[in-house]
Amino acid sequence: MEWTILGAGALGCVMTGLLRQRGESVALMLSERHRGHFHPSLELITLTGAHQLIQSRPRFPEHARTVECLLVFTKAYQVVDALKELRHLPASTPIILLHNGLGVAEKVQALFPNNPLLAGVSSHGAIKERDWLVRHTGKGETWLGPLNDAAKTWSHLVKPLEKALGHAEWSDDIALHQRRKLAINAVINPLTACNNITNGQLLEPRFADVLEQLSEEVYQVMSRLDGDKAETQDAFRRRLQQVIELTSSNHSSMHQDLAHGRPTENEYISGYILANAGNQPVPVCSQLYQEIERKSGTAKPAQRMQH
| CA nearest neighbour of 12 among 77, 74, 79, 101 | 74
| Sequence-ordered strand ranges (E) for 47-132 | 51-54, 57-59, 69-72, 95-97, 117-122, 125-130
Query: Parallel, antiparallel, or unpaired for β 25-29 and 2-6?
Result: parallel
| CA nearest neighbour of 94 among 70, 64, 65, 60 | 70
Looking at residue 307, what is its pLDDT?
A: 36
pLDDT in tens, 39-50: 668 999 999 999
Q: Of residues 181, 229, 295, 300, which has the active-site annotation? A: 181
Domain ranges of the chain: 2-172, 176-305
Looking at residue 40, what is its pLDDT?
A: 63
Rounded Cα distance, 262 and 163, in Å: 34
- Model confidence at 23, pLDDT cuts 50, 70, 90, reads very high
Rounded Cα distance, 128 and 146, in Å: 29
- Model confidence at 35, pLDDT cuts 50, 70, 90, reads confident
3-state secondary structure (DSSP) of residue 101: coil
Contact 187, 285 (CB under 8 A): no
Which residues does 162 contact at the CB level (< 8 Å), separation at least 6? 168, 169
Into which CATH architecture does domain 2-172 fall?
Answer: 3-Layer(aba) Sandwich (3.40)
Contact 181, 224 (CB under 8 A): no
Looking at residue 305, what is its pLDDT?
A: 40
pLDDT (average), residues 22-49: 86
Residues of the chain with pLDDT > 70, as a percent, come to 95
Cβ neighbours, 10 Å, residue 114: 12
Looking at residue 109, what is its pLDDT?
A: 97
Report pTM.
0.92
| CA nearest neighbour of 140 among 242, 235, 56 | 242
Looking at residue 31, what is its pLDDT?
A: 83
Is the pLDDT assigned to residue 298 strictly greater than 70? no
Contact 61, 29 (CB under 8 A): yes
- Model confidence at 302, pLDDT cuts 50, 70, 90, reads very low
pLDDT (average), residues 194-222: 97
Looking at residue 163, what is its pLDDT?
A: 96
The CA-to-CA distance between both ends of the chain, in Å, stands at: 40
Looking at residue 245, what is its pLDDT?
A: 93
Sign of torsion, CA 28 30 36 38?
negative
Rounded Cα distance, 74 and 291, in Å: 24
Strand 57-59: give its sheet, edge to edge.
Answer: 57-59, 25-29, 2-6, 69-72, 95-97, 117-122, 142-146, 169-170
Question: Is 139 an annotated catalytic residue?
Answer: no
Of the two residues 35 and 47, the one the predictor is more confident about is 47
Is the pLDDT assigned to residue 224 strictly greater than 60? yes
Listed in sequence order, the DSSP H helices in the chain are 10-21, 79-84, 105-111, 158-165, 174-195, 208-226, 233-246, 253-259, 270-275, 283-295
pLDDT in tens, 177-188: 999 999 999 999
- Model confidence at 207, pLDDT cuts 50, 70, 90, reads very high
Pick the CATH number of 176-305 from 2.60.40.420, 3.20.20.140, 2.120.10.80, 1.10.1040.10: 1.10.1040.10
- Model confidence at 38, pLDDT cuts 50, 70, 90, reads low
3-state secondary structure (DSSP) of residue 214: helix
